[in-house]
Amino acid sequence: MKAIRKSSAEIEKGGLPVLVLSEADVKTLLDPLRLLDALAEGFRDLSAGLIQAPERPEIIVPRKGFSLAMPAWRTGMSIAVKVVNVFEENLDIGLPNHLATINLFDPGTGAPQCVMDGTYITAIRTAASAVLSVRELSRKDSRTATIVGAGVQGRQHLQLLPLIREFDEIRIASLRYEDAVSLAKLQPKAVAVEDVEQAVRTSDVICLASHSYQPVIEAGWVRPGAHVTSVGYAPPLGELPVELLDKSKLFVETADAFKSPPVGCAELKDRDSSSATLLGDVISGKRRGRESAGQITLYKAMGVAMEDMVAANLAYSAAKSRGVGQIVTL
């Protein structure tokens, strides 16, 4: 005889076990090379329409900061929902200006599975996506790179760039030269530079990794054949000179990049989305990437929930297999 299902009034949730992963846990669980390959697959799936990632809503706290919610899911993964808060004055009290948490949910039941730090994931997945574009779009003979920005993103770019190209030199420029000097000490091939223009003019790869509200380079500094990445998000203008869009081939994560912030990029909001190629289409072979050695290629990132979903699922899977983290009951 078939059992009679209880009504919702008769069922209590009771305690549900949830894995909690700290920032230190997440750092030990994410392998950079595996993340790059997983993101490549994620970009392919995103451009193929296999990933659900609705537009991110925003809460603004006047004169303080803003909060973004970023959900995503695809078959075979846990549902991921990240909340990232950007509060600039945190730096004055010794806190990161970007703070994030990621929740994972069982796609079969909706039950919570994991709560993890998302601050480190936000940092590394942002840089990894940009560096993935370097792997796919820069000239194979690229030997000199310049990172503009010596903060969190500058640090993550410096960690990842040597994994995808044999650079002879990685230059670091910053608003404060001493920050560039400090960061350059972390990598044998890194060198701090004061003359940003000269560094950019002679670089094969230029990575804009600042939180600047205005362009940090000029379009005329970028030489033919260079690849440029930009991950900064600081409306209403941003770090990328819009003039560079007219002299380069543009690549983005999704067409949402052309919507107004907080969904899209400030630098692209008045542009035609048909002017860009999806990075996922290049990775899948559906569209061409770089078309000539002299072409300037440009990847403008807005940061999409797919990237968080991929990184968080990697961390969760590794945590379960290695017994990392703490179980709490909700």
pLDDT digits (tens, 9 = 90+) for 193-228: 999 999 999 999 999 999 898 999 999 999 999 999
* pLDDT at residue 114, rounded to an integer: 98
Say yes or no: 104 and 210 in one domain.
no
Pairwise CA distance, residues 75 & 65, whole Å: 34
* pLDDT at residue 1, rounded to an integer: 53
Residues of the domain holding 215? 139-303
8 domain-assigned: no
- 148-158: pLDDT as tens digits: 999 999 999 99
Say yes or no: 298 and 314 in one domain.
no
Number of structural domains the chain divides into: 2
> CATH number, domain at 180?
3.40.50.720
131 domain-assigned: no
* pLDDT at residue 270, rounded to an integer: 81
| 28 contacts: CB under 8 Å, gap ≥ 6 | 324
Q: How many CA atoms lie within 13 A of 219 on its CB side?
A: 12
7 domain-assigned: no
Q: Please determine, for residue 161, whether its predicted confidence score (pLDDT) is greater than 90.
A: yes
Say yes or no: 143 and 233 in one domain.
yes
Across 76-100, average pLDDT: 93
Whether the Cβ atoms of residue 84 and residue 122 lie closer than 8 Å to each other: yes
Across 92-96, average pLDDT: 91
Across 118-136, average pLDDT: 96
Q: What is the mean pLDDT of the chain?
A: 94
Say yes or no: 87 and 224 in one domain.
no
* pLDDT at residue 5, rounded to an integer: 77
Give me the percent of the chain exceeding a pLDDT of 70: 99
Across 88-93, average pLDDT: 91
In three-state form (DSSP H/G/I as H, E/B as E, the rest C), the secondary structure along 226-258 is CEEEECCCCCCCCCCCHHHHHHCEEEECCHHHH
- 183-197: pLDDT as tens digits: 999 999 999 999 999
* pLDDT at residue 96, rounded to an integer: 87
Give burial (CB, 10 Å; 0-12/13-18/19+) of 235.
middle
252 domain-assigned: yes
Q: What is the pTM of this model?
A: 0.90
- 241-290: pLDDT as tens digits: 999 999 999 999 999 999 988 888 888 988 888 889 999 999 999 999 99
Say yes or no: 95 and 237 in one domain.
no
* pLDDT at residue 187, rounded to an integer: 95
- 287-304: pLDDT as tens digits: 999 999 999 999 999 999
Say yes or no: 107 and 255 in one domain.
no
E strand or H helix that includes residue 200: helix 196-201
Q: How many CA atoms lie within 13 A of 324 on its CB side?
A: 20
9 domain-assigned: no
What's the pLDDT band for 36 if we cut at 50, 70, 90?
Answer: very high
Q: Please determine, for residue 69, whether its predicted confidence score (pLDDT) is greater than 90.
A: yes
Say yes or no: 78 and 109 in one domain.
yes
Say yes or no: 284 and 320 in one domain.
no
Across 159-178, average pLDDT: 96
Whether the Cβ atoms of residue 111 and residue 105 lie closer than 8 Å to each other: yes
> CATH number, domain at 62?
3.30.1780.10
| Short-list 174, 136, 149, 168, CA closest to 285 | 136
Dihedral sign from CA coordinates of 23, 26, 28, 30:
negative
CB atoms within 10 A of CB 274: 8
Say yes or no: 56 and 117 in one domain.
yes
